[in-house]
Amino acid sequence: MFAAHGFIYASWAVRVPAVKQQTGASPAALGLALLGLSAGAVATMLIAGALCRRFGHRPVAVICCTLLSVTLVLPALARSAVTLGLALAVFGAAYGGLNVAMNSIAVDLVAALRRPVMPTFHAAWSFGGLAGAGIGGLLAPHLSPVRHLLLVALAGLLVTAIAGRTPLSADRADCSAGAGHTDADRAIPFSTAPSSTAIPFSTTGPSSIDADGATSSSRPPRQVPVPRRTLGTVQAVGLFGLIGLCAAYDEGAIGDWGALHLRQDLGTSAGLAAAGYAAFALAEATGRLSGTTLLERLGRTRVLVLGGLAACAGMLVAALAPDVWLALAGFAATGLGLANLFPAAITRAGLLAGSAGVALASMLGYSGFLLGPPAIGFLASEFGLRVGLTTLSFLALAAAIIAYLSRDTASMVSPMPAEAFAATTPNGSIEGSSVGSGPPLLLLHGGPAMTDYMDMLDAETSGWRSIRYQQRGLPPSAVDGSLTVEGHVADAIAVLDSLRVDRAVVLGHSWGAYLALHLARAHPDRVAGLVLVDPLGAVGDGGAAEIGEHLHERLLPAAVQPYAAIEARLEGPDPTDADMLASLRLIWPGYFADPATAPPIPSHIRVSMAGYMATFASVAQHFADNFGEKLRDLRIPAVFVLGELSPMPVSQGRQTAALLPTAEVTVVPAAGHLPWHEEPGCVAAALGRIRKLASIPDAP
């Protein structure tokens, strides 16, 4: 899809002279008409980001690629500058929409693969553009613009049909630590019981709970106002958008003015002048092929800083060189330097804020592409083209400086590769991975007996050594053994022991947060602090019955009848993993503040009915034994992060927090069971608070 995007755009670009002649437009009128393409693209980018969050990246990408192919023919049909501008506005809208959607998909793949592979996609765009320009140059003498672009449109539709049948991404929900994304479009699994009837334990009455949701003998937990991190997220995305702007400014200016500089200032032939942009484009495409390796070995900040400095030096040589061959070398060096600036910046923006981050960064970057050529033209008319082109060096230097200053905005995809481990237990191994540097942070996913999904919180956990693992009950960890609360606690200790971690902060979500309380109670010397995100509680039935009722009430209309059939099977004698997973898929939207706009459930999620039933039987016994009262002497710093509109009742989280002498509570406004989806950065803020409460240094 990236290659098709570049190919289609380049195919149009090589026919601009013929379309100009066909419309009879003056240079000024043509310039205004060409702004239609840019205006359509910029105007659509933010809208495309919203559509990706609402409908998912894949359908938006398929629709936009279809529209891009179809509307490519419109400019060739224009017979005046006005109709050309309108046609290009429509074409530009599809161009901008596909730009955002395909980059959002690529960001998803970066997160899923945990490798910075974005430059490879942009290399495909570059080579697609080179192919489109080359083939277009060969066909131009023989075919009219309409016939040529019609052939390209048919090829684009074929690519769309093929790509549209491929599962391009798992469409994460937008979530970020500043989004980090989300995109965050980042859909994050979770959770507790699929329904009240499927919970294999009875509930106890709330007789000791008053109307305000606090136990009669408990002290009220300290209330901490939720930190609003959205502004910080926008600022972080804006910084990377500015890097993209600087890179795109240089690319646009070189494309429009590089050949003229070689011909006018150095007196080269027309053919050799064209080689200036070819040297730049080939070097940029080649540099992107090595981008993934460079990012893995050097890290994002070094790649951005060194790339900006290389582009700065290369452009100075290209602008001021007295010899054409030295100028060509300068253009090539500039291409190598700029190669990975935009891909790395757009990746970080997407990981910080999902498709919204991609949209904002793309809009800023494309604005640079628009500003570059006219700005150079103005400077050239006042001071000469050499002087105008030297400003490109300053923009590249600015990109390097911004990258260095934003180095503390840690990348979700760390240059440090994830270290896999297998913790040995008497009942099989527990497998997981450790990534990043900083104080150790043990992540416990929800479920139980569900696929680990805590990697989706990587953007929230930057600055920590994140340790996550697949809990017992599903591969690659042992599928049987001690499927009890005590067994899961023993597994967590085995993980810490295998990594030689004496003490760690523990971050748990849903059932994982309940497990974290047991871990802290059984091994207080191994737990430095707790971050408990929308937990299954420790009072009464932990809120299990209420969350089941709320999820049933939140079913989308189309899911009510299928859910009733699946629920009947779950209550029968032989419920299966497939039944439980089907139930989870139907109730999934109910975990979000607004079920109607919930992101799709990730396709990789799996569950184990046997593991779930066995573990919750153990949980029910702990409820019956009044586990919550045993937390009153737990003197470990704890921060509860509760979603205001979660199906898990906020009162349950407050009641559990009231049992811990050192607990603080943050209620995230208008957030669901996965509060980092609606409020990116809320988990990162809680981790920051734990650092202070537990006096945890920044270095391990």
pLDDT band at 365 (very low <50, low <70, confident <90, very high): confident
Identify whether the C-beta of residue 99 lies closer than 8 Å to the C-beta of residue 72.
no
Say if residue 191 is preceded by a cis peptide, omega within 30 of 0: yes
pLDDT, residue 169, reads: 43
Lowest average pLDDT, out of 80-94, 184-198, 554-568, goes to 184-198
% helix, strand, coil for the chain, step of 5: 60, 10, 30
Span 273-283, mean pLDDT? 73
Residue written as token pair 């936009």: 64
Q: What is the mean pLDDT of residues 614-636?
A: 93
- 25 confidence band (pLDDT: 50, 70, 90): confident
At 565-589, the pLDDT tens digits run 998 998 888 889 999 999 999 999 9
DSSP E strand boundaries for 395-482: 419-425, 428-435, 440-444, 465-469
Average of pLDDT values for 258-285? 73
pLDDT digits (tens, 9 = 90+) for 192-226: 333 333 333 222 233 332 323 333 333 344 343 33
Q: Is the pLDDT of residue 350 over 90?
A: no
Q: Tell me what pLDDT residue 63 has.
A: 92
pLDDT at residue 407, rounded to an integer: 60
**pLDDT score at 529:** 96
Per-residue pLDDT at 401: 92
pLDDT of 685 above 60:
yes
Per-residue pLDDT for 356 more than 80?
A: no
User: Which of these ranges, 201-215, 494-508, 543-557, has the smallest mean pLDDT?
Assistant: 201-215
208 or 397, which is more confident:
397
| Cis peptide bond prior to 518, omega within 30° of 0 | no
Say whether 660 sits in a helix, a strand or coil.
coil
Helix (DSSP H) and strand (DSSP E) numbers for the chain: 24, 9
Burial class of residue 457, CB neighbours in 10 A (0-12, 13-18, 19+): buried
Read off the pLDDT of residues 149-161 as tens digits, 9 standing for 90 and up. Answer: 999 999 989 988 8
pLDDT value of position 111: 64
Q: In the predicted model, what is the mean pLDDT of the chain? A: 81
What domains are defined for the chain? Answer: 228-415 (1.20.1250.20), 419-540+612-693 (3.40.50.1820)
Q: What percent of the chain has pLDDT over 70?
A: 83
Report angle CA 196, 198, 204 to the nearest 5 degrees: 50
Say what percent of the chain tops pLDDT 90.
36
pLDDT score at 114 = 60
| pTM: predicted TM-score of the whole model, two decimal places | 0.53
Residue 499 CA to residue 468 CA, distance in Å, equals 12
Q: How far apart are CA 19 and CA 37, in angstroms?
A: 14
**What does the pLDDT read at residue 191?**
36
- Which residue did the predictor score with more confidence, 686 or 37? 686
The Cα-based distances of 278 to 136, 288, 372, 376 in angstroms read 15, 15, 19, 20
Lowest mean pLDDT of 146-155, 298-307, 628-637, 684-693, name the range. Answer: 298-307
CB 9 within 8 A of CB 132: yes
- Would you place residue 147 in the very low, low, confident or very high pLDDT band (cuts 50, 70, 90)? very high
